[in-house]
Structure formats: C-alpha cells, structure tokens
Amino acid sequence: MNLVGSFFGSSIGRKIIMALTGVILIGFVVGHLVGNLQIFQHPDHINGYAQFLHQLGPLLWVARIGLIAAALLHIWAATVLTLENKRARGGDYGFKHTIQATFASRAMRWTGVIVLAFLVYHLAHFTLGVVQTETFKETAPLNHYVMQNDYRVAGFTVVKAGTDVANVHSMVILGFQHKVVALFYIVAVGLLSLHLLHGFNSLFQSLGLRNAKWSWLLHKAALALCVVYFLGNLAIPGAVLAGKLRPQTAKVAATAQR
C-alpha cells in the first residue's frame, strides 16, 4: 500500500483529514458571515461584494469545488471513524455512559446531518435562487441594482459606480421576511455553532496541539468564537423580522444615503 493509501486507510490519517478539512470549512463559514454582515451597511457594499465574487469567474468555481471536496472528505472521514468506533465496542451500548461527554459531542452526528441539509437549502435559496424565484419575480424593481458608488477591495476598485448588478441586499431581506425560513435559518445556525464547538476541541486534539495545561483555555476560546458566530448570524434574520432591514432599490438607497 502506498503512502497516500496508508494515510487514508489509518484512523490517525482520517482524524487528520477531518481536522484539516474542518479548518477549511471553519474559515469559509467565518468569511461567509463577515461578507454577509455587510447587509447592515449601504446596499452598495453587499451588492458590490456579490458582484466582485461573481466576476472571479473560474476562480470562484475552483474555490467552490475545493469547498465541496473538503466537505465530502470531512463527511467521509467522520462516517468511517464512527463506524470503526461502533465496531470496536461491539455495537451501541445497552446503557450509554455519557456523564463525561458534552452535549455538543453527543449531538455531533445529528447536527452534522441537519447542517448539511440546511446548507443545501441555503444554496438553493440564496445562491441559486430556486426557492424564492416566484417571490423575487413579484418584486421585479428590486431584482436589479445600479451601484451608486465604487466598491473597493484592498483599496482597488473592483465594481464601478453605475454598474447594473444583482440586488443581493433585497434578495436576502425578502427571503428572511418569511418567518418559517428565518426560524429554520436560526435553528440551523445554532446547530452549526454547536457542531463547531465540538469540532474546535477535536481539531486541536487531532493535530496534537492540545494538552492538559491549556485545554480549558482552548475550550473557552472556542466557546466564545461560536457564541459570537451564532449572534452574528442571528442578527441578520432578527433585524429583518424586527423591520430594521428593508429591501431597497438603487433610487431608494441613494436617497437614504443623502
């Protein structure tokens, strides 16, 4: 068996794969949140941000394929390790000893499955626009947006003022105006945060970066990050349901800016 085959065929190798793919996926969800929080700024920001990503063309698809590969490897490694653990102990316990296990660790598999279902729906909802196509058609004036200002990244103009772009700002708000959709999003993000909490702790242990002296500090840091992540995601549908965020056309946005 070659080196790669040995690595994928060993429990240690699969744990490392889970940890490394976890780092990639954590980086994505945090970056995704930072980008989405631009919805609290002038519509130029999130609309320009979405247009900038769209303009990346093939590079965006390379990133998407990389994320899909990381997610599939993560799921594969988790599934194989779970089956191995079950075989090693001769099936499920008649009486489950979970006194020392955290709720996050016990719920890891279920939160992972639910989060995966949520991600599929989330992509269909906001990225592909399949779920809310009819709703968005009913608000045709909000489908497009003319940039009022240049959108810059690292000081460079990447989307110029006057560019006709997709109105992501209004699309997100219209989506979250449906209470069932907003509630599903909040619950799913809560489960994702719980999944991340245990994932952080397991990640450091799998990479050999955790010891008895500072494991408590890592846990506290992971808990703080997951709470901030959840609250950041909660803020968006919460503001929409509270009426603090409303869909805007370019004309309305320009008036509001003045």
Q: Which of 22-31, 182-191, 196-205, 243-252 has the lowest mean pLDDT?
A: 243-252
Q: How confident is the model over 14-40, as a mean pLDDT?
A: 89
Q: Which of 40-44, 175-179, 234-238 has the lowest mean pLDDT?
A: 175-179
Q: What is the pLDDT of residues 90-104, one digit of tens each?
A: 654 444 444 334 554
pLDDT at residue 256 in the model: 46
Beta-carbon contacts of residue 166 (< 8 Å; ≥ 6 apart): 47, 50, 51, 54, 143, 144, 145
Q: What is the DSSP letter of 96?
A: -
What mean pLDDT is reported for the chain?
Answer: 78
pLDDT at residue 250 in the model: 55
Bridge partners of 152?
157
Give, in order, the Cα–Cα distances in Å from 97 to each of 78, 83, 100, 102, 106.
Answer: 21, 18, 8, 11, 11
pLDDT at residue 55 in the model: 93
Q: How confident is the model over 70-92, as a mean pLDDT?
A: 77
Q: How confident is the model over 77-92, as a mean pLDDT?
A: 73
The CA distance from 97 to 195, in Å, is 21
pLDDT at residue 98 in the model: 41
Is 241 a residue whose pLDDT tops 90? yes
Q: How confident is the model over 128-152, as a mean pLDDT?
A: 69
Q: How confident is the model over 189-214, as a mean pLDDT?
A: 76
Q: What residue segments make up the domains of the chain, in order of their start?
A: 3-89+101-257
pLDDT at residue 80 in the model: 86
Confidence of residue 233 (pLDDT cuts 50, 70, 90): very high
pLDDT at residue 159 in the model: 96
Half-sphere exposure of 170 (CA within 13 A, CB side): 22
Q: Which CATH class is domain 3-89+101-257?
A: mainly alpha
pLDDT at residue 128 in the model: 57
Confidence of residue 121 (pLDDT cuts 50, 70, 90): low
For the chain, how many residues are written?
A: 258
Q: Is the pTM of this model over 0.85?
A: no
pLDDT at residue 48 in the model: 95
pLDDT at residue 101 in the model: 44
Q: How confident is the model over 119-147, as a mean pLDDT?
A: 62
Q: How confident is the model over 174-202, as a mean pLDDT?
A: 84
